[in-house]
Amino acid sequence: MMKLLSVNVSLPKEVPYRGGSVSTGIFKEPVTGRVMLRRLNLDGDRQADPSVHGGVYKAAYAYPFEHYEWWSRELGRTDFVLGQFGENFTVEGMLEDEIHIGDVFRIGAAQVEVTQPRAPCFKIGIRMGMDDFPKRFMASGRTGFYLNVLEEGEVGAGDGIERIRGDVGGITVRGLWHLAYYEPQNLEDAKKALRLPSLAPEWRKPMEKRLIQAGIPLE
């Protein structure tokens, strides 16, 4: 059963970084009660750098709670809190190899669409207190996924999550991650990915480049 365990938000704040400071919204904290999910973000949540965060393809970020236990063992830590990985939605039953790019879900009164895995920036390293964590995060394949908001609505911890449109013949979140980072010669699946209308531009462009370099015309 898919479930929303926690809704987490944060406004940008200045935090120490390498002798200076940086603005980040990655320190998410759980919200009590219900909160409005809007086209570009949740009420009470903002992205510090809109050039790389946010936008319609990254309106909200979901992370599977199942990964918390794995990271706890991997890092030997027990200090995690909900929102630890900068996610807006801590979810259950939505692992990356079961969720497809283009899947549409009903969460509370909102409707969302999966657009891409997460490719983390250095700020998750700040959140975790580990400079090398972005690389470890990406290598793990435990990326979580971003959502496009198709219908605005209120959401809250405890809401069930219903898949209302799925693409079982498509590409999973984990499949796209693996294709992008570990299968540079896989042109057939690159073409398959480019046929997904919901695929975010930052993942579409590398696939297009791959085909162009191979002399394959874009469809």
* pLDDT, tens digit only, all 219 positions of the chain: 999 999 999 999 898 888 888 999 999 999 999 999 999 999 999 876 665 566 899 999 999 999 999 999 999 999 999 999 999 999 999 999 999 999 999 999 999 999 999 999 899 999 999 999 999 999 999 999 999 999 999 999 999 999 999 976 689 999 999 999 999 999 999 999 999 999 999 999 999 999 999 999 887
32-52 per-position pLDDT tens digit: 999 999 999 999 998 766 655
> What six digits make up the tokens of 161?
């999550």
When the candidates are 3.90.1310.10, 3.90.1150.10, 2.40.33.20, 3.20.20.70, the CATH number that belongs to 3-167 is: 2.40.33.20
Question: Among candidates 147, 123, 135, 214, which has minimal Cα distance to 181?
Answer: 135
**Entry pTM:** 0.94
CA 130 vs CA 140, 148, 180: distances in Å: 15, 29, 25
Confirm if 8 and 14 have CB atoms less than 8 A apart: no
- Tell me how far the alpha carbon of residue 132 is from its chain's centroid: 19
Radius of gyration of the chain (CA): 17
